């Protein structure tokens, strides 16, 4: 197949992973980059040998010459840039979090749908090797019908040194990290009908909440708990592992720290190492996330080529983003929030 040509907007901290990922993806290449910060534009342009460089996204779209755009900026610019892509009928990938509000996210889905262009949210955590392994084990029928789960991410890793903006916002862990954990809950147990949540801020140096506990009712009748913390110091730091406990009518699945998958049923227990691959450009402990960046970008290239909808399309991700909004609403009001009402 002919390589798809892509353009990337936002050459910051995380975009470097995306640029490495695109180098590995079969069927797509980045031909132009854009950042309003000239220093970041130069660093990424020089590192990845990209000649076409722009400080203004509108100018880059006007010049054209690419088949899709990959938006790797922080949340406040997402809506304007996605709508710009739609107005030029350019298929678009947008980093998480989708948008500042659910209303913005809905408008972005509507703009892309009206323009007839695919929109994928770069929701990469469900593409992590250990998470895919849990889904495969569940799909094999080994534990019967799932009725309960816990999706847990507890860490004291200093995310603020690489991403200082995370300390500044009124919202922190649910919007930044819990969004992934909520998406994993949907990926494993299906859509959610209602939730309730409690939050805390433990670290006095940041503005938003760094601990959240969320109770979810799934459409299939299962119950799950999503618990996330950046205030939890442990003997062995698990960042960035999501740990999973999943109980079914015929057995259970455990994804434990160190990337071990245990599947137990009447026949006994099998233990499998489901550690992610350390890609040539990756570094521990980020390699789990980095491999999933490559995986979701390969999925995008394959989906664009085949015309199939992506796993984390804008329409799909509205259902994850609604859980974020609902969790903040529930934490503020102490009420249970009906998800259908938000969508
Ligand atoms: P960053 O601040 O380091 O980089 C953002 C870059 O975008 C900056 O260089 C900035 O100058 C540029 N930019 C902003 N608005 C622009 C505009 N309108 N036009 C051109 N350039 C613009 O941020 P980051 O840490 O790289 O995070 C970017 C996004 O990636 C965030 O939404 C974050 O949540 C997400 N992220 C995702 C993962 C993941 O695993 N999916 C991990 C980390 C960060
Ligand atoms: O921004 C976050 C993300 O998406 O994954 C981990 C992270 O970098 C810090 O919480």
pLDDT in tens, 294-303: 999 999 999 9
Q: Are strands 243-248 and 146-154 parallel, antiparallel or unpaired?
A: antiparallel
Q: Which residues contact 200 (CB under 8 A, 6 or more apart)?
A: 209, 210, 211, 212, 231
- Model confidence pLDDT, tens digit, residues 136-191: 999 999 999 999 999 999 999 999 999 999 999 999 999 999 999 999 999 999 99
Q: Give the residue from 305, 242, 227, 282 showing the smallest Cα distance to 5.
A: 305
The Å distance, Cα 302 to ligand 2 centre, comes to: 25
Q: Is 60 a pocket residue for ligand 1 (Cβ < 6 Å)?
A: no
- C-alpha distance from residue 48 to each of 7, 11, 154, 292 (Å): 13, 11, 34, 20
Is the per-residue pLDDT at 95 higher than 80?
yes
- Cβ atoms of 92 and 73 within 8 Å: the answer is no
Which tokens is 1 given?
């197949």
Percent residues over pLDDT 70 in the chain = 100
CATH class of the structural domain 4-117 = alpha beta
Q: Is 108 a pocket residue for ligand 2 (Cβ < 6 Å)?
A: no
User: How many separate helices (H) and strands (E) can be counted in the chain?
Assistant: 11, 15
Fold equal for 4-117 and 126-283+320-342: no
Which ligand 2 atom is at minimum distance from the Cα of 180?
4
- Cβ atoms of 274 and 129 within 8 Å: the answer is yes
Reported ipTM: the value is: 0.99
- Model confidence pLDDT, tens digit, residues 214-237: 999 999 999 999 999 999 999 999
Nearest CA owner, ligand 1 atom 44? 14
**What are the structural domain ranges in the chain?**
4-117, 126-283+320-342
> Helix crossing, 78-87 with 102-115: angle to 10°?
10
Whole-angstrom distance, CA of residue 313 vs CA of residue 278: 27
246 phi/psi in degrees, rounded to 5: -135, 120
The Cβ of residue 278 has, within 10 Å, a number of other Cβ atoms equal to: 13
Is the per-residue pLDDT at 1 higher than 70?
no
What CATH topology corresponds to 126-283+320-342?
Dihydrodipicolinate Reductase; domain 2 (3.30.360)
Nearest CA owner, ligand 2 atom 10? 177
Expressed in angstroms, the distance from the first to the final Cα of the chain is 38
The Å distance, Cα 289 to ligand 2 centre, comes to: 9
- Cβ atoms of 48 and 19 within 8 Å: the answer is yes
Q: Is 208 a pocket residue for ligand 2 (Cβ < 6 Å)?
A: no
The Cβ of residue 58 has, within 10 Å, a number of other Cβ atoms equal to: 14
- Model confidence pLDDT, tens digit, residues 178-199: 999 999 999 999 999 999 999 9
Nearest CA owner, ligand 2 atom 3? 177
């Amino acid at each position: 197949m002919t390589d798809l040509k892509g353009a990337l907007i936002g050459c910051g901290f995380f975009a470097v992973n995306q640029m490495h990922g695109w180098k590995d993806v079969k069927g797509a290449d980045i031909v132009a980059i854009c950042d309003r910060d000239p220093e970041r534009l130069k660093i990424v342009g020089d590192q990845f040998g990209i000649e076409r460089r722009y400080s203004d996204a509108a100018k880059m779209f006007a010049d054209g010459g690419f088949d899709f755009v990959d938006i790797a900026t922080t949340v406040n610019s997402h809506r304007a840039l996605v709508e710009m892509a739609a107005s030029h009928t350019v298929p678009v990938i947008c980093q998480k979090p989708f948008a500042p509000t659910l209303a913005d996210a809905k408008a972005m889905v509507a703009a892309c749908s009206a323009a007839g262009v695919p929109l994928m949210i770069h929701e990469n955590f469900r593409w992590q090797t250990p998470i895919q392994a849990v889904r495969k084990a569940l799909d094999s029928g080994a534990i019967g019908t799932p009725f309960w789960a816990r999706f847990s991410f507890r860490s004291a890793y200093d995310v603020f040194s690489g991403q200082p903006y995370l300390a500044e916002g009124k919202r922190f862990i649910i919007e930044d990290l819990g969004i992934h954990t909520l998406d994993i809950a949907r990926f494993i147990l299906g859509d959610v009908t209602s939730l309730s949540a409690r939050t805390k801020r433990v670290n006095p140096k940041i503005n938003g909440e760094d601990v959240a506990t969320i109770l979810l009712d799934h459409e299939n009748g299962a119950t799950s708990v999503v618990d996330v913390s950046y205030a939890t110091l442990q003997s062995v730091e698990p960042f960035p592992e999501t740990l999973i406990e999943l109980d079914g009518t015929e057995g259970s699945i455990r994804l434990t720290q160190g990337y071990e998958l245990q599947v137990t049923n009447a026949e006994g227990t099998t233990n499998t190492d489901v550690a992610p691959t350390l890609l040539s450009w990756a570094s521990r402990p980020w390699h789990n996330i980095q491999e999933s960046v490559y995986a979701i970008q390969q999925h995008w290239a394959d989906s664009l080529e085949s015309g199939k909808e992506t796993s984390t399309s804008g329409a799909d991700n509205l259902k994850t983003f609604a859980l974020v909004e609902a969790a903040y609403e529930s934490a503020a009001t102490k009420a249970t929030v009906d998800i259908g009402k938000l969508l």
